Amino acid sequence: MPSAATKRAAGPRQDLPDRVGGPSEDKLVLPHDSSLSVKVLQTPTEILEHRFLWNSWPGSRDSDLDFFLYIVSARPEVLCPHVLVAYRRDIPEAVLIGRLEQRRVPVKFGYLHFPTPRVRVLDFVYGGLRGNASPENTAVLISKVLKSLRDGEADLAVFEHLPVHSHLYHAVGVLAGALERGISPEHRTHRRLQLPENSEALHKILSPKHRQNYRRKARKLLRDFSGAVHIERYRQVSDLMVGEVESIARKTYQRGLGFGFKDTPEIRGQWELAAAKGWLRVSILYVAGKPCAYWIAMAYNRVLWGDHVGYDPAYSSYSPGMYLLLSGLGDLCDHKWDDDITEIDFGLGDAEYKSLLSNCCFKEGLVHIYGRTLRGLGVNLFSSPVLLADRLVRKFLTRNNLIAKVKRFWRKHEAPASH
């Protein structure tokens, strides 16, 4: 599968010519350190020449070389890769992984989406900085991004949720002008679970009230469907498995809101790549022979990266999603499933189950840098007031303990009509 993905990605898109003779020699040198320079890789051929170095630096699943090249090949909005390599005296020290895309930038007020024009976006993937993330290296990389925007190569640069205490986040704040940054990014909580020593210790992470509640619901599930409750775990892709997940996903509130799992050619390709590399982990809870909950994740660098959790609302009184998560996480703690997993990453966005099951967290911000093109200025002028209004409303609802009620209303309102 990796070779197929690479083959599909062989060449840039549209009007961007394939470079020959290695990476671009265009260099950006910071005055205080003349030994630093940046090269831009914009073809899969150039990127594959750096495979050994790329893979030698740890990083996220999204920044894996083969996963990245698959996304480049699969998404029609991608014009070409845009990968920055920081050098010190011609020795590569860090890589910042992104794509140049022609697409719409989502502008949301709560669950409402506003239409925007298509713009050229430098989209840097989640966890896309590999190598030595020193202040000097991150500064020279961000300076190169700013130069690309100021030269009109793109209208906007997007960093997918940077940790607010990272050097990369700090470099954006220092080097980008106020108008280029737009409204300051809202900080969101990213939650993880460092696996406890056993399943009993896992349950102690829950408060006594929640622990008692979920154990009661688990007993009720097993009593009401005696002998007919089981979990299947999949590491290979099949039409049957994908169909079971889709049969649940189409009933979830996430589908009504336009996110969550959906069976698409791109997702199938991601799963086939993950299965070929031994990453894929799909768990499905069956009750009386019917699929009623799923948990989709990928194991990468000893971390289980969670992608989707969903359940059939017809079984909501049993909390089947939490039953599946607690069972799977308990087996991981007791080394019944994956011996090399040490941590669970619950993915972007916050949710009640993440706050209940996590034992560590950090703050992140979705960072935008706007270019000086007409489209870049237009997106900034339109999106900043909407984002500011969204943030103020969220703060008001949170302060008055109304945020959960509003979310429940929207989820019920947007849930599939048949449910």
Q: Assign 294 a pLDDT band (cuts: 50, 70, 90).
A: very high
Q: Assign 340 a pLDDT band (cuts: 50, 70, 90).
A: confident
Distances (CA, A) of 291 to 243, 263, 287, 318, 407: 10, 16, 6, 14, 26
Q: What percent of the chain has pLDDT over 70?
A: 88
The answer, yes or no, to whether residue 215 has pLDDT greater than 90, is: yes
Give the pLDDT mean for 191-202: 95
Go through the domains of the chain in sequence order and give each one's CATH number.
2-190+364-396 (3.40.630.30), 196-341 (3.40.630.30)
The residue whose two tokens read 């050229």 is: 120
Distance CA 319, CA 336 (A): 23
Give the pLDDT mean for 339-352: 89
Pair 159, 366: CB distance under 8 Å: yes
Give the pLDDT mean for 11-39: 48
Q: What is the pLDDT of residues 34-79, one digit of tens each?
A: 789 999 999 999 999 999 999 999 999 999 999 999 999 999 999 9
pTM here is 0.85
Q: What is the pLDDT of residues 347-373, one digit of tens each?
A: 988 888 999 999 999 999 989 999 989
b/e map 395-414, b = 16+ CB within 10 Å: eebeeeeeeeeebeebbeee
Q: What is the pLDDT of residues 76-98, one digit of tens each?
A: 999 999 999 999 998 999 999 99
Residue 353 CA, chain-centre distance (Å), reads 18
The answer, yes or no, to whether residue 330 has pLDDT greater than 60, is: yes
pLDDT at 12: 34
Distance CA 30, CA 55 (A): 27
The answer, yes or no, to whether residue 10 has pLDDT greater than 60, is: no
The answer, yes or no, to whether residue 31 has pLDDT greater than 60, is: no
Cα torsion 142, 146, 152, 156 to 10°: value is 70
Q: Please state the three-class secondary structure of the chain as a single string.
A: CHHHHHHHCCCCCCCCCCCCCCCCCCCCCECCECCEEEEEECCHHHHHCCHHHHHHCCCCHHHCHHHHHHHHHHCCCEEEEEEEEEEECCEEEEEEEEEEEEEECCEEECCEEECCCEEEEEEEEEEEEEECCCHHHHHHHHHHHHHHHHCCCCCEEEEEEEECCCHHHHHHHHHCCHHHHCCCCCEEEEEEEECCCCHHHHHCCCCHHHHHHHHHHHHHHHHHCCCCEEEEEECCCCHHHHHHHHHHHCCCHHHHHCCCCCCCHHHHHHHHHHHHHCCEEEEEEEECCEEEEEEEEEEECCEEEEEEEEECHHHHHHCHHHHHHHHHHHHHHCCCCCCCCCEEECCCCCCHHHHHHCCEEEEEEEEEEECCCHHHHHHHHHHHHHHHHHHHHHHHHHHCCCHHHHHHHHHHHHCCCCC
pLDDT at 394: 77
Pair 68, 40: CB distance under 8 Å: no
Q: Assign 390 a pLDDT band (cuts: 50, 70, 90).
A: confident
Distance CA 14, CA 80 (A): 9
Decide which of 20 and 368 is more confident: 368
Give the pLDDT mean for 238-266: 92
CA angle 301, 305, 308 (to 5 degrees): 160
Task: Give me the sign of the Cα torsion angle 379, 385, 387, 388.
Answer: positive
Q: How many residues does the chain have?
A: 419
pLDDT at 81: 98
pLDDT at 403: 66
Q: Which of 192, 117, 128, 193 is nearest to 377 (CA)?
A: 117
CA angle 261, 79, 348 (to 5 degrees): 30
Q: Assign 415 a pLDDT band (cuts: 50, 70, 90).
A: low
Task: Give me the sign of the Cα torsion angle 82, 86, 89, 91.
Answer: negative
Give the pLDDT mean for 287-301: 97
Q: Assign 393 a pLDDT band (cuts: 50, 70, 90).
A: confident
Q: Assign 253 a pLDDT band (cuts: 50, 70, 90).
A: confident
Q: What is the pLDDT of residues 132-186, one digit of tens each?
A: 999 999 999 999 999 999 999 999 999 989 999 999 999 999 999 988 988 877 8
Q: What percent of the chain has pLDDT over 90?
A: 69
Token pair recorded at residue 57: 């630096």
Q: Which of 193, 141, 128 is nearest to 172 (CA)?
A: 141
